[in-house]
C-alpha cells in the first residue's frame, strides 16, 4: 500500500506540474485555455480510474461521459487524417470527390465530434471537481 500511495503521489504531482506549466502558458498565448481544460479533464478521468478497485469498470455515468468526451475531442483533432495526408494532399481513398466536397466532409465530421465533445462535457459537469 505504501508503494501505491507513492505512485499515486507521483501521478498527482505529474499532473499538477503539467497543469501549472499550462497555466503559465495561458498568460503567454491565446488558445491555451482549451489545452489547460482538456488536461484538467484528463486528470479527472485518470484520477477516477486509478481510484477504482483493481479489475472494476467505471459505473459512474458522469465519468463514462467524461471519458467519451475526451475521445470525441481527440477525434475532432485527428479526423483530418481521414481526408488529408501530412502534406495536405487529399487521400487516395477520397480522391474521387472534388476538393470542396472533401473539405465539406472533413468540416462536417470535425463539427460532429466537436459538438459531441461539448454535449458530453456538459453532462453532470457540476459533479466533477478538480483540486489542481
| DSSP 8-state symbol, 32 | H
Helical H runs in the chain?
A: 2-28, 32-50, 61-78, 99-122
Reading phi first (left if > 0) and then psi (alpha if -120 to 50, else beta), residue 31 is in: left
Higher pLDDT: 94 or 20? It is: 20
| Domain assignment of residue 115, yes or no | yes
| Domain assignment of residue 132, yes or no | no
Placement of cell 463514462 in the chain: 64
Q: What are phi and psi of 60, to 5 degrees?
A: -70, 115
Give the 3-state secondary structure of residue 123: coil
127: pLDDT confidence band, cut at 50, 70 and 90?
low
Residue 49 makes CB contacts below 8 A (sequence gap 6+) with 58, 63
38 has a pLDDT exceeding 50: yes
pLDDT at position 93? 78
1 has a pLDDT exceeding 90: no
Number of domains forming the structure of the chain: 1
Q: Which domain holds residue 15?
A: 2-127
pLDDT tens string 60-81: 778 888 999 999 999 999 999 9
Report the distance separating Cα 84 and Cα 94, nearest Å.
9
Mean pLDDT, all residues of the chain? 84
Give the 3-state secondary structure of residue 93: helix
Q: What are phi and psi of 41, to 5 degrees?
A: -65, -40
| Domain assignment of residue 18, yes or no | yes
pLDDT tens string 93-117: 777 778 889 899 999 999 999 999 9
| Domain assignment of residue 111, yes or no | yes
Amino acid at each position: 500500500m505504501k508503494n501505491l500511495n507513492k505512485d499515486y503521489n507521483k501521478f498527482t504531482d505529474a499532473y499538477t506540474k503539467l497543469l501549472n506549466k499550462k497555466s503559465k502558458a495561458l498568460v503567454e498565448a491565446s488558445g491555451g485555455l482549451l489545452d489547460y481544460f482538456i488536461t484538467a479533464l484528463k486528470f479527472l478521468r485518470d484520477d477516477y480510474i486509478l481510484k477504482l478497485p483493481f479489475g472494476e469498470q467505471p459505473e459512474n455515468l458522469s465519468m463514462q461521459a467524461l471519458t467519451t468526451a475526451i475521445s470525441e475531442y481527440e477525434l475532432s483533432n485527428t479526423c483530418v487524417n481521414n481526408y488529408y495526408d501530412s502534406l495536405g494532399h487529399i487521400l487516395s481513398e477520397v480522391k474521387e470527390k472534388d476538393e470542396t466536397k472533401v473539405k465539406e466532409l472533413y468540416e462536417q465530421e470535425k463539427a460532429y465530434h466537436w459538438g459531441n465533445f461539448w454535449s458530453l462535457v456538459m453532462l453532470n459537469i457540476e459533479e466533477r471537481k478538480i483540486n489542481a
